[in-house]
A and B are shown apart, each in its own frame.
Chain A
Amino acid sequence: MRRWIVVRPPGLPVSFRLGARVPAVLLALTLVTLAGMVLNVGYGEYPISPPDVVRTVLGIEAGDGNYGFIVNTLRLPRVLVAFAVGVALAVAGAILQGITRNPLAAPEIVGVNAGAGLAAVTLIVALPAVSVAYLPFAAFGGALVVATLVYLISWKGGGASPIRLILVGIGFAAMATALTTIMITFGEIYAVQQALVWLSGSVYARGWAELFALLPWLALFLPLAFAGARQLNALNLGDDVARSLGGRVELQRLSLIVVCVALAGAAVATAGAIGFVGLMAPHIARRLVGPSHEGLIPVAAMTGGMLVVLADLVGRAAFSPIEIPCGLITSAIGAPYFLYLLYRSRNL
């Protein structure tokens, strides 16, 4: 049973509805995420107990004078970057799965990751003279260029149909990945190693600067994603139904793709290609609150943030002192999950 909570402030021409389970699910996910964050910040060569972590973050003097520096300068921004990146990837994935009506779609599909990867590796390997400070810009630019090309080439007869988007996207991703591989094969060894770490996706050494570079993108595009929930619900019923309901399908799809690319591009620029979060998070969210996007988008966002925070924790703790990039952890979980989804969709 899935009922709704309806909000209608008396006397105002305003009304909203939300799946009844959404608030409880969101609260539970938030609690898990917060717990994961506290553990993540506390874990390390210099362990800090959870209560001390909380105290230090809140600015209350705790046991050791070093806590302030370790928590607030080193570990907290990193965990917040992990969360923000997860949120962005998950919402981008939810949007893309909505507009393509394909539960297996992910930001990777429209070439975002491959474009960002190619641009970043080009910068690292082929242009070693350029400062790595430009890496996020190059990655974002690469994501944008490839996504735009995919959209333009998918355009046919007055529209870019979902299936064309997916096929062209896969083609472009393969091409960009091939070019990236060439670059890695012939590149100078030190640069290649650096590029590989970036490609696998990691929040290693990310600080406040990276967080503050990412936040404006979230502040601008997350509200747009939430505002697009109704359009996504209509598009999810197919182009003909959406059109007959009075939706301006092509315009809506284009603007939603822009939101998706901006979010995924910003995430990839910040932390590299953290794979499968954009695929898994919307799925888990759909299982929890159903396919209506009013609830799906916020729940997917929180799930994505949670996944990356936990993946980073696992990556740091599993083979300590060796640190595994969180992108490898999400891929290790995501790839079998993807196979499971394929298997299940075969039975539909």
Chain B
Amino acid sequence: MATLKTEDLSLSYDGERVIRELSLEIPPGRITAIVGPNGCGKSTLLKGMARLLKPKGGSVYLDGEAIAKMPTKEVAKRLGILSQGPVAPEGLTVRELVAQGRYPHQSWFQQWSREDERISARALKITGMTAFADRPLDTLSGGQRQRAWIAMALAQDTEILLLDEPTTFLDMAHQLEVLHLLERLNAEEDRTILMVVHDLNHAARYAHHIVAIAAGRVFTSGSPAAVVTPDVLREVFNVEADIVPDPRTGAPLCIPHGLSSAAPQKVG
């Protein structure tokens, strides 16, 4: 199974050091959530791990190989990333978008093989987008559009899937729809999923492993029960919260009730 890890990774964004000598190993075949306050560098970290940002120091390793030294097309066959708020050109249909996911598997002569067709159709089916395949993206709801982009990432057919806040701008039902989809992809297809999540309760409910980032460093990581604690909430998010078990799943559920009195954390 594909493995992804960073060693002493440092990343800058707009000339400012955002991630500092961060070492992290993503458990293969599991769902990992990255959480942290605004500006802690979690999105930057995700981009760095997907080689969309060049490291200022340290490395990202995919299956033990330094990602920066691998041909980018080779990386694209094993690791897919869905950034935040991607925009499709006007009039592009879902089917055309999803077909783009096959790009790393194609060549000048082999532009639409039977396998491309099969895997794209499957990605449409898994995400429930088959019925919308011929609709332009700009005519779909936010949730459908997000599913279409996930379908594109699925068509890329990578063992590892990185997602940056896949549920932002979605209403509650669409958020659950996307999270359930990711849960199923992990359970039924053994895909390793790494996602940046804003809502701590979503992380606790859907992830097997949580990484809490503060000021560009890993504050703590582990199972939801180990990470979602009053201490971590106070130190990382500056909130006082009660943690109660989710009556359905037993996952820790966080109920914030006030700002912590500790001085606000310096970021950067």
Chain A positions near chain B (C-beta within 8 angstroms): 1-4, 6, 8, 13-17, 101, 103, 158, 227, 230, 233-234, 236-238, 240-241, 243-248, 286, 290-292, 294, 348
Contact = CB atoms under 8 A, between A and B. Distances in A.
A244 B81 contact: yes
Contacts of B134: 1-3
Given A2-B95, A3-B134, A246-B104, 13 more contacts: A2-B96, A8-B113, A17-B112, A101-B89, A237-B89, A237-B97, A240-B47, A245-B100, A245-B103, A246-B74, A247-B103, A248-B72, A291-B96
A227 B108 contact: yes
B130 to A, nearest CB: 14
What's the dominant secondary structure at chain A's contact region? loop
Contacts of A245: 76, 100-101, 103-104, 156
The 9 closest A-B pairs by CB, nearest first: A246-B76, A246-B73, A246-B104, A17-B112, A245-B103, A244-B81, A291-B89, A240-B83, A15-B112
A294 B112 CA distance: 12
Contacts of A247: 72, 103
Contact of A244 (B52, B54, B90): B52
Contact of B90 (A1, A14, A291): A291
Interface in B62-85: 71-77, 80-81, 83
A234 B92 contact: no
B106 A230 contact: yes
Contacts of A6: 112, 117
Contacts of A103: 90
Task: Give the interface size class of chain B.
Answer: 35 or more
B257 interface: no
Nearest to B99: A17
Nearest to A287: B91
Contact of A158 (B54, B88, B103): B54
Contact of A240 (B76, B86, B89, B110): B86
Contacts of A236: 89, 92
A243 B89 contact: no
Contact of B109 (A2, A13, A101): A13
21 contacts: A2-B96, A8-B114, A13-B109, A13-B110, A14-B109, A15-B111, A15-B112, A15-B113, A230-B108, A233-B100, A238-B87, A240-B86, A241-B100, A243-B72, A244-B76, A245-B76, A246-B103, A248-B72, A286-B91, A290-B92, A290-B96
B50 interface: yes
A251 to B, nearest CB: 10
B93 interface: yes
B63 to A, nearest CB: 16
